[in-house]
Amino acid sequence: MSVESFLSMTEESGSFEEEMVQFQRRISTRSGLGDETYLPRGITSRPPNLCMKEARAEAEAVMFGAVDSLFSKTGVKPEDIGILIVNCSLFCPTPSLSTMIVNHYKLRPDINSFNLGGMGCSAGLISIDLAKQLLKANPNTYAVVVSTENITLNWYFGNDRSMLLCNCIFRMGGAAMLLSNKAKDRVRSKYELVHTVRTHKGADDNSYNCVYQREDDKGTVGVSLARELMAVAGDALKTNITTLGPLVLPFSEQLMFFLTLVKKKLFKVKVKPYIPDFKLAFEHFCIHAGGRAVLDELQKNLHLTEWHMEPSRMTLHRFGNTSSSSLWYELAYTEAKGRVSRGDRVWQIAFGSGFKCNSAVWKALREIPAPATATQLKASPWGDCIHRYPVKLPLS
């Protein structure tokens, strides 16, 4: 779906006032999205066909495609899976999405199955953390995590600006990950999960309300993004890295951070908060592709280079904001560029409603060469286009 096609579809729907059409045009042209993102059939149909059948069709296309690819690449069989976790924030049908996968792949009856809903764009790392805890309690097994979002029943046909932002940046996508606690799998695994850090600011009203599903003044349901979102995200990130820092930073950076904190808290000295140099702790950064403004702010706050931001910006351009799965498109981009070497450390950072900021730290167990054969290219979401990236993005 090109940006122009999206804008034409928006205008032709007749659902939006002219002022709101122009608002969406301004947002879309500055959003960082390219012309090859995906929207489900229910939304692109004329007229739109927003029904449960189409929503299920979208979920099946994304989830089954991702899981099929996972089984094909790993050689693991469906009957080997002992744990299944699916996260999708806005679409929670009955039977659940996890049950759809159990039924489709005829998974075994004693499977530990979980379906996480309403947890926003950071739910993918919540699922990873849950899988980690379950693998500790269930030896010699496999866990599959499926992260996606469903757009069909959550497209907004109203005229509230705060809700129209989602139409402009959210797109269709999903990912499936396999985790193992079997010793024999270490030699073929790509990464080892080193740390997960979860931050939940839901006790604060501003944080709780800044991403909120509600009805507008006409009774149309949408997800509202508050103006305070960037400030709330910054506060959640600060809390998260305060916990993560001591786990990953070299001692020199920890000392500088501690001394600044002592000056501020103990001696009441007015000093700028010390932002540790996380480039000393990680080779690769996968920052949730929530939007151009989010990425700009994170780049500035963490003092990252364009090279570090490239996987996130290119994912936003190629696929749009695919919610909780965007982190995996970013990691796949890094792999497709042949940048991952043995021992490299990867920091995944995700933000989501609640408000939550979650981190996962991975260590590469081996070099991961760029896909070269036709089979390898087909298995990568970037296989048909990585040669064109990075692309030059227009200035905002």
Q: What angle do the packed helices 292-302 and 306-319 form, to 10 degrees?
A: 170
Of these residues, 168, 317, 357, 358, which one is catalytic?
317
| Structure tokens given for 21 | 């059409």
Q: Active-site residue 104, yes or no?
A: no
User: Measuring CA to CA, how many Å separate 60 from each of 53, 118, 125, 176, 262?
Assistant: 11, 19, 22, 13, 53
Of these residues, 87, 150, 200, 308, which one is catalytic?
200
DSSP helix/strand/coil, 236: helix
Q: Active-site residue 321, yes or no?
A: yes
> Could you please report the per-residue DSSP string of 84-105?
EEEE-SS---SS-HHHHHHHHH
| Structure tokens given for 170 | 């959210």
- Amino acid (one-letter) located at 392: K
Q: What angle do the packed helices 161-169 and 18-29 form, to 10 degrees?
A: 40
Q: Active-site residue 288, yes or no?
A: yes
Of these residues, 87, 181, 321, 358, which one is catalytic?
321
Q: Active-site residue 387, yes or no?
A: no
| Structure tokens given for 385 | 């286009």
Of these residues, 87, 88, 115, 121, which one is catalytic?
121
Task: Write down the H helix ranges in 171-228.
Answer: 205-209
CB-neighbour burial class of residue 75 (10 A; exposed 0-12, middle 13-18, buried 19+): exposed
Q: Active-site residue 195, yes or no?
A: no
Of these residues, 150, 166, 168, 288, which one is catalytic?
288
DSSP helix/strand/coil, 331: helix
Q: Active-site residue 284, yes or no?
A: yes
Torsion on CA atoms 370, 374, 379, 381, rounded to nearest 10: 70
Of these residues, 150, 284, 286, 357, which one is catalytic?
284
CB 286 within 8 A of CB 292: no
Rounded distance between C-alpha atoms, residue 174 and residue 59, angstroms: 9
Instruction: Give the catalytic positions in this structure.
Output: 121, 200, 284, 288, 317, 321
